[in-house]
Amino acid sequence: MRIWNAIRNRLSPQSNTISVSPTSTQSPTDLGPMHHVNDYWLQLQESDIDQGLHRLVVGGMWEEMGPLQFEFLRAQGLKPHHTLLDVGCGSLRGGIHFVPYLDTGNYYGLDINASLIDAGKRELAAINALSKEPHLLVDDQFRFSRFGAQVDYALAISVFSHLYVNHIQRCLIEMKKVLKNDGVFYATFFVAPHPLHLDDIHHQPGGVVSHFDQDPFHYALSEIEAMAASVGFRAEHISTWQHPRNQQMIAFRHA
C-alpha cells in the first residue's frame, strides 16, 4: 500500500479520503486475486488519470524506465516486424515506445488492472499511436492465448517482483503456449543471494527493501531456474541490464 498511500496523501494531505475504488460495498471476492498480494487490484479513477497518477503507480521514473526497456529489447534484436507481448504492461510506460516502433498490430499488452490499461490508451492517443492497432487485454490469469497470436519477444518489467511464486508459475505456463520456438521472454526480478532467503534485502541502487513473503518479493537465481525448469523453460541471467532499482533481468527460452 505504500506507493498508493503516498500518492493519495499527496493528493489530499489533510484527509484519508481515498480517490481510488473499490468502494466499501465491494466484497473481498470482488477485489480480485491480487487482493492481499499487491496493490494492483486498486482501480484509478478518471480524475486520477487526469492528474497523471497512472505514471506513478507503475513505479514512476516514466522518462527513464520506458526508454530503458525499449532500448534493451532493441539491443536484444527486436525489429518492427517482430511480435511483442508486454506482460503487466500497466499504463504503457514501455508501450508508448514499442507501439510506434513495431509494425501495425504487433504489440500485445496484458494487465490485471483495467484502469491502467485505460490510462495507457490515453497515453497512446496523446502520441497518435492508436492507429498502430495495439492489442490490449485485461486478464487476471495471464491467459495470453486469448490474443490468438504467437510472439517473438515477451517482456515483464517489474511484474514478478510483485508476485508469489505460484502466480509466476502460472504466467510461465501460459507463456509456454504463445512464445514461438525461438522466442525469448525477458522478465525482471529482485534477486536474493541464496534460496529461501527469509531476511529482507536492501537493494542499491534504489533503496527498495524486498521480502521473502511480502510485496516486493525476492527470489534466488536457483529458485527462478527451478520455476523455469518445471514448465520446460531454461532461465539465463542477463548481466548487461542495468536497472535503477537493482532488479535483475532473466531470459526464459524453451528448453
How far does Cα 214 stand from its chain's mean position?
17
Q: Is 65 in the site for ligand SAM (CB under 6 A)?
A: yes
Nearest distance, CB of residue 15 and ligand SAM, angstroms: 26
Burial class (CB in 10 A: 0-12, 13-18, 19+), 195: exposed
Q: Is 245 in the site for ligand SAM (CB under 6 A)?
A: no
State which H helix or E strand residue 47 sits in.
Answer: helix 46-50
Integer Rg of the chain from CA: 18
Nearest distance, CB of residue 155 and ligand SAM, angstroms: 8
Q: Is 109 in the site for ligand SAM (CB under 6 A)?
A: no
Cα angle 121, 125, 127 (rounded to 5 degrees) comes to: 120
Nearest distance, CB of residue 53 and ligand SAM, angstroms: 13
List 4, 56, 59, 184, residue binding ligand SAM (CB under 6 A):
59
List 49, 84, 89, 102, residue binding ligand SAM (CB under 6 A):
89
Nearest distance, CB of residue 111 and ligand SAM, angstroms: 5
Nearest distance, CB of residue 55 and ligand SAM, angstroms: 9
Q: Is 162 in the site for ligand SAM (CB under 6 A)?
A: yes
Question: Residue 152 or 215: which CB sits closer to ligand SAM?
Answer: 215
Nearest distance, CB of residue 158 and ligand SAM, angstroms: 4
Q: What does 75-119 look like in DSSP terms, one character per residue?
A: HTT--TTS-EEEET-TTTTTHHHHHHHSPTT-EEEEES-HHHHHH
C-alpha cell at 170: 502460472
Among residues 169, 158, 155, which one has the least CA distance to residue 216?
A: 158
Q: Is 187 in the site for ligand SAM (CB under 6 A)?
A: no
Cα separation of 116 and 159, whole Å? 14
State which H helix or E strand residue 152 sits in.
Answer: strand 151-156
List 8, 54, 82, 93, residue binding ligand SAM (CB under 6 A):
93
Contact positions toward ligand SAM, by CB under 6 A?
Answer: 34, 38, 40, 58-59, 65, 88-90, 93-94, 111-113, 116, 142, 157-159, 162-163, 167
